[in-house]
Structure formats: structure tokens, C-alpha cells
């Protein structure tokens, strides 16, 4: 199954731990590592020929089996930024010998679709191994500032980044225990890949097979987990949990990423659920590179081996899991002890009438208004008569009108940065990761963006 040209290349086990340990769990109980490995071997032999595979499995355990089977077959898993049919079709077209695989009936069916069998086959054999320099996945950036860029990941780099992630989280649960993870993020996203796929494979954890969305579903999944429980989620899901009043079992910790986590929300979640909320910072290009306890500290601590180096237009990141330094558009202020503060992105820096501000800071001021449940500030594409691209705002604030919102903003924002369009909406068009695609924001402005 492995690349026959591997020769003397260093080979690595596809999973760690005792064969009897749980790698996944759910409504049907726990799945042992040895069962998982038998299914990986059998599925690898059954996969269609090809070079690239897009894994569309909704069941997280089946995603895990299929991801490892694809790697064992010597193929590469593509991780497009969206599972929208047009994005999937484009990825298939751009990558030679591509096919899609999944665990259900899809409508519309993606090109070259191969469906996993209802009953996963099993084959005995030795521990599956993969060459360290084998590319096993290609992650794609969102493309919000242009064409999505491809970021190949080798098995060796995934092993190194998983070790760093484990070191960043290890103190959340007892020394001799292994966590059982419930994740609300899809495994197709790099954050979901790192914490709900690679951590069970290479960190000894077990993961819930589902992807619960609503608070009651999340609570149900957590009750199916054994202690110590770890919730891997986003600020959007965390806010919904805090506001729902749902009862959760004891947790070792909550991990959040994909979007900035407000300090007040982190503190409320810690009080409500009696555990630490640990925020992670990373990107498709770098994987996770830093952590912080947001409720108590605004500064980020780089993960072991990660060195951020501020540049005029972003930050150069050096790390053990990166073959070469990676340039990020994020602007950082690095302290003498190596910790850093995130100042936003160069693309978010605004210059109007000789004054400077950042969209991130403006959005934080908007969210700080009492009565605002959600909101965002963004710059319009078109310039006004003076050649200035003005600011717009979309706000979820059921009990506040536009005039009141603008008056509250005037108390903390320079007049040149006040939104020229402020529109109250029932909800922001967040995707499954809690992110806000720019095209969706503009559509929500009802087509009038001047």
C-alpha cells in the first residue's frame, strides 16, 4: 500500500498506543484501536485508483478511517476551504487523478464520487506505516484575499505539530489519563484535523464520531464521553452553550479557535462550566502555533519550538514542524519573554483622513456595547466621491436601534471610522467555523454598498 519507492525512507506508525485503547466513541459505544486499524487496512485496498482524494465524510470516525486509508494507499487528502459543490468541483479539476469519497448520498453528487461501504471491511495485519516525507494532506486557505493557496502537509510535519499541540494541552487532564474529545468543528478544517483527527491518532486521545452543532447535541455527546472530557469548539458554539443554560458534565477543558474569543465570553464560560477555556492561534499555513488562557491573559504563548519574528507587513514564523519559515499577514507585538499580542492584519489596517485604525479593534468596540449579541465592521469595496472606501457594520442587537448604536460607537470611535452603513440583522452569515465570508456580508447589505 505504501509508496514502493519509499526504499529506506523513515517510516512512521499511523497511530500510537495499545491496540485495546479507544480511538473513537459514540452512541454505539467505544471503538478500539485494533478494530480501527483492521478497517484502515481493508479500506485502503478497496479505494479507487487516483492521486488525490477529497474526504466528504460527515461521520468523524469514518473520516478518520478514510483519511488513514488514503494515506496508506499513497494518495493525498485534499482539504478545500469549503464543501460547497462549486469549490469541490474546482478542486477535482485542478488536481490530477482526483476523486471524492464520502459516507452518504450527496445531492448534488460530486464528481468521481466513491461511497464508503455501509459495513466497513476488516483485514488483519501489521501496524500500517507511512513515510515521514510523504505528503498526506493539502490544506487550502480561505481565499478571502485572493485565490486559495495550497499548503502541503507531510506525515512528519503532522507528527511534529501534534507533539506541540499535545504539549500545549497536556496539563488540562491528569498525567496518566487520555482525554475523550467532543468536537463541533469539521475534520476537513485544519483546526479540526489537528485536534479531532491527529490528536486521536498520534496523541492517544479518543474522539466522538459525530459533529454536534446545537447545545443539547453537544451536551449529549459530552455525556457519552468518559472523563477527562475535552470540548474542541469555536467562539460561536461557545457563546450558544453559555447562553443556552444547558447542563454539561464535568470537563477537563474547553479549546477554542477559528475566530477571536472575547475575554468576557471566555470568563463567562469558565464560570459557567468550571474548567479552563484555552484559546489556540494558528492558520492553514502554519497549523497551531500559540495558546493563551483568554479569560486571564491577553498575551499569546508560542508553542514549543515556535519562534514568531515580526516584519513590516506581517510575521515570519519558524517552527520545528515547518520545513521553511512561513510568512503570515498577522501583525504581532512580541514581548521580551517571547509572548506576543495580536494586532490584526495588514489588510485590516485603515487609513482615512490621515488617521489609522484596524477593523479588528473597531469590531471589538462594537461587540463591547451592552445589548450587542454579534456584529462586524468591514470596509466597502467602492470609494465615495472623495475617493474614500468607507466602513459598514452589520449588527445583531434586538433591543437597540441604529441611532442608539451609532451614538454608543461615537463614544469610543473617531468620527472618520464610524460606519456609513449600519444595518441591524437577525443573524450574521457565519459559516460552519464561525467565519464571515466577505461575499455573504455584502449580500446582507441588500446590495446597497455605496
DSSP 8-state code for residue 190: H
Residue-wise pLDDT tens digits, 342-392: 887 766 777 676 676 778 888 888 998 999 999 999 888 776 666 677 889
pLDDT of residue 168: 93
Would you kindly state where each structural domain of the chain is located, as residue ranges?
Answer: 4-343, 353-444
Distance CA 29, CA 402 (A): 51
What is the arithmetic mean of pLDDT over 213-218? Answer: 95
Cell numbers given for 58? 460527515
What is the arithmetic mean of pLDDT over 411-431? Answer: 89
DSSP 8-state code for residue 301: E
Residues β-bridged to residue 284 = none
Q: Residue 278, exposed/middle/buried by CB under 10 A (0-12, 13-18, 19+)?
A: buried
One-character DSSP codes across 99-137: EEEESS--SSPPTTEEEPPSS------SPPEEETT-EEE
Least Cα distance to 279 among 307, 253, 252 occurs for 253
Q: Is 444 left (phi over 0), alpha (psi -120 to 50) or beta?
A: alpha
Query: With bands split at pLDDT 50, 70 and 90, how would you rate the model's confidence at 6?
Result: very low
- Class for the domain spanning 4-343: alpha beta
CB of 83 closer than 8 Å to CB of 57: no
353-444: what fold? GMP Synthetase; Chain A, domain 3 (3.30.300)
Residue 448 predicted with pLDDT over 50: no
Residue 28 predicted with pLDDT over 90: no
Residue 57 predicted with pLDDT over 60: yes
Element (H, E) at 223: helix 215-224
Query: With bands split at pLDDT 50, 70 and 90, how would you rate the model's confidence at 313?
Result: confident
Query: With bands split at pLDDT 50, 70 and 90, how would you rate the model's confidence at 330?
Result: confident
Residue 244 predicted with pLDDT over 50: yes
Q: Please, what is the Cα angle at 378 between 376 and 380, to 5 degrees? A: 145
Least Cα distance to 41 among 130, 125, 136 occurs for 125
Q: How many CB atoms lie within 10 A of CB 209?
A: 20
How far lies 205's CA from each of 25, 198, 271, 291, in Å? Answer: 11, 9, 26, 19
What is the arithmetic mean of pLDDT over 311-317? Answer: 89
Residue 58 predicted with pLDDT over 90: yes
CB of 414 closer than 8 Å to CB of 352: no
Element (H, E) at 407: helix 402-410
CB of 187 closer than 8 Å to CB of 63: yes
- Average pLDDT score over the chain: 90
Which range among 2-11, 155-164, 325-334 shows the weakest confidence by mean pLDDT? 2-11
SS3 345: strand
Share of the chain above pLDDT 70, in %: 93
Residue 146 predicted with pLDDT over 60: no
Q: Which residue has the higher pLDDT, 390 or 255?
A: 255
pLDDT of residue 359: 85
pLDDT of residue 371: 92
pLDDT of residue 353: 63
Identify whether 228 is preceded by a cis peptide bond (ω within 30 of 0). yes
Amino acid at each position: 500500500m505504501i509508496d514502493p519507492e519509499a526504499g529506506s525512507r523513515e517510516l512512521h506508525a499511523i497511530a500510537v498506543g495499545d491496540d485495546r485503547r479507544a480511538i473513537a466513541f459514540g452512541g454505539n459505544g467505544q471503538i478500539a484501536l485494533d478494530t480501527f486499524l483492521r478497517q484502515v487496512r481493508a479500506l485502503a485496498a478497496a479505494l479507487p485508483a487516483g492521486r488525490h482524494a477529497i474526504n466528504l465524510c460527515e461521520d468523524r470516525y469514518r473520516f478518520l478511517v478514510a483519511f488513514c486509508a488514503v494515506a496508506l494507499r499513497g494518495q493525498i487528502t485534499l482539504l478545500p476551504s469549503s464543501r460547497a459543490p462549486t469549490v469541490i468541483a474546482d478542486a477535482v479539476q485542478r488536481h490530477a487523478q482526483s476523486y471524492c469519497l464520502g459516507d452518504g448520498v450527496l445531492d448534488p453528487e460530486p464528481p468521481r464520487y466513491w461511497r464508503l461501504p455501509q459495513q466497513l471491511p476488516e483485514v488483519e495485519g501489521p501496524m500500517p506505516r507511512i513515510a515521514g516525507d510523504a505528503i498526506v494532506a493539502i490544506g487550502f486557505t480561505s481565499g478571502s484575499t485572493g485565490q486559495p493557496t495550497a499548503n502541503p502537509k507531510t506525515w512528519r510535519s503532522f507528527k511534529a505539530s501534534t507533539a506541540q499541540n499535545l504539549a500545549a494541552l497536556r496539563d488540562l487532564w491528569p498525567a496518566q489519563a487520555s482525554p475523550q474529545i467532543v468536537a463541533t468543528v469539521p475534520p476537513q478544517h485544519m483546526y479540526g484535523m489537528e485536534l479531532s483527527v491527529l490528536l486521536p491518532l498520534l496523541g492517544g486521545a479518543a474522539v466522538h464520531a459525530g459533529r454536534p452543532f446545537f447545545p443539547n447535541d453537544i451536551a449529549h455527546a459530552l455525556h457519552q464521553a468518559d472523563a477527562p472530557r475535552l470540548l474542541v469548539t469555536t467562539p460561536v458554539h461557545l457563546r450558544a452553550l453559555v447562553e443556552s443554560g444547558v447542563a454539561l458534565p464535568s470537563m477537563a477543558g474547553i479549546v477554542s479557535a477559528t475566530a477571536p474569543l472575547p475575554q468576557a465570553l471566555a470568563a463567562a464560560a469558565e464560570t459557567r462550566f468550571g474548567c479552563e477555556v484555552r484559546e489556540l492561534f494558528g492558520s492553514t499555513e502554519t497549523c497551531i502555533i500559540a495558546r493563551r488562557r483568554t479569560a486571564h491573559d491577553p498575551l499569546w504563548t508560542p508553542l514549543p519550538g515556535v519562534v514568531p519574528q515580526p516584519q513590516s507587513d506581517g510575521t515570519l514564523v519558524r517552527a520545528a514542524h515547518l520545513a521553511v519559515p512561513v510568512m503570515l499577514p498577522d501583525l504581532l507585538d512580541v514581548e521580551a519573554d517571547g509572548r506576543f499580542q495580536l494586532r490584526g492584519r495588514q489588510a485590516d489596517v485603515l487609513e482615512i483622513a490621515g488617521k489609522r485604525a484596524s477593523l479588528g479593534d473597531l469590531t471589538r468596540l462594537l461587540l463591547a456595547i451592552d445589548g450587542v449579541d454579534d456584529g462586524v465592521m468591514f470596509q466597502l469595496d467602492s470609494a465615495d466621491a472623495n475617493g474614500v472606501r468607507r466602513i459598514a457594520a452589520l449588527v445583531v442587537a434586538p433591543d437597540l436601534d441604529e441611532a442608539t448604536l451609532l451614538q454608543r460607537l461615537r463614544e469610543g470611535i473617531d468620527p472618520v471610522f464610524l460606519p456609513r452603513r449600519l444595518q441591524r440583522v437577525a443573524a450574521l452569515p457565519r459559516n460552519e467555523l464561525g467565519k464571515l465570508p466577505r461575499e455573504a456580508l455584502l449580500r446582507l447589505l441588500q446590495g446597497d454598498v455605496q
